[in-house]
Every structure is written in C-alpha cells, then in structure tokens.
C-alpha cells in the first residue's frame, strides 16, 4: 500500500472542538460559524464563560465551564462555541477561581469566583446602565454592575 500523505477524516480538528489558545480574546471564525474564546491566567484553577444578550446584562443566556483537560494549553484557557448555541448573545465576561491568596510577597494573587471579570483582550467594552465601579471591590457579586466585553 502506497502512502499518499493525505489523511481522510470527517472529524473536526482539535481547535474546532476545544478551541485554540491563540489569538487571545474572542474571535469570530466565519468558516465554522463559531467564536473562539482564549484567556491567559497563570494561576486559575477554574474558568467560566458567561454570555449576555442586550435585554438582560445580569442573567447570562449561556454559560460554559472550561474543562482544564480539554480547554487549557499551558496558561491559556480556550473554548470554541458555535453561534447556534449562544443565539443573540452580544457580550461576555469570565469568572475565575484559583488557589487561596499567597503569603509570599512575590506571588500575590487573589480569586473571587463571585466577581465577573472583563477580558483584557476585549475588542469593545459595554458599560450597563447599572454600572458601579465600587461593585468590583468588597464582598458580594457584581453581575449587572460590571463592564462587559463585546463579542
């Protein structure tokens, strides 16, 4: 049997199933009609993606819990979400959890999964009418009061 160098397969590639670690941020993939979400976090143990529509910026229309075995490459968490799953979602944010605060003065990190966080690589930012900068500090959730990234 002679090798042709081609592999015939109808299975989707790794990146189309589980996302790609680059580029960072939210990227529209027209050929797959899907968004790729990629977020760098050195210490995160758990990452959740929340998507919102125009009508309600407090309650997500879609939630995706990243699986560290499938959706993490090095320090980048990634997922490919088909457009038909998120319908009319226009905004997204993350919730990140990790190890407890370190007492090492060189390793300062803190996680609060009750807070939603803006993607630092967002191409656009939306401030809801109920935006409150002080909701990011102190106890309690900040859903509905935090800025959202545009898809």
Place of tokens 């809801």: 128
Q: How confident is the model at residue 124 (pLDDT cuts 50, 70, 90)?
A: very high
Distance CA 130, CA 134 (A): 12
Q: Is 71 exposed, middle or buried, given 0-12, 13-18 or 19+ CB atoms closer than 10 A?
A: buried
Q: What are phi and psi of 80, to 5 degrees?
A: -110, 120
pLDDT greater than 60 at residue 31: yes
DSSP 92-129: EEEEEE-SPPP--TT------TTS-B--TT-S-EE--T
- Comparing 102 with 141, which gets the higher pLDDT? 141
pLDDT score recorded for residue 118:
97
Task: Among 3.40.190.10, 3.40.50.300, 2.60.40.10, 3.40.50.150, name the CATH number for the domain at 23-150.
Answer: 2.60.40.10
Whole-prediction pTM: 0.86
> Residue 86, Cβ neighbours under 10 Å: how many?
21
Distance CA 22, CA 128 (A): 28
pLDDT score recorded for residue 101:
72
H-only helix segments in the chain? 14-18, 83-86
pLDDT score recorded for residue 11:
54
Domains in the chain: boundaries: 23-150
């Amino acid at each position: 049997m002679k090798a042709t160098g081609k592999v015939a397969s109808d299975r989707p590639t790794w990146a189309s199933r589980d996302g790609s670690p680059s580029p960072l941020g939210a990227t529209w993939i027209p050929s797959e009609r899907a968004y790729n979400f990629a977020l760098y976090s050195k210490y995160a143990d758990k990452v959740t993606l929340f998507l919102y529509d125009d009508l309600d910026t407090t309650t997500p229309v879609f939630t995706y819990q990243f699986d560290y075995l499938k959706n993490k490459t090095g320090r980048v968490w990634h997922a490919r979400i088909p457009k038909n799953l998120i319908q009319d979602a226009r905004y997204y944010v993350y919730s990140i959890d990790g190890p407890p605060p370190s007492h090492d003065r060189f390793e300062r990190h803190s996680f609060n999964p009750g807070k939603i966080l803006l993607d630092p690589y967002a191409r656009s930012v939306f401030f809801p009418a109920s935006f409150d900068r002080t909701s990011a500090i102190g106890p309690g959730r900040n859903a509905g009061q935090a800025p959202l990234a545009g898809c």
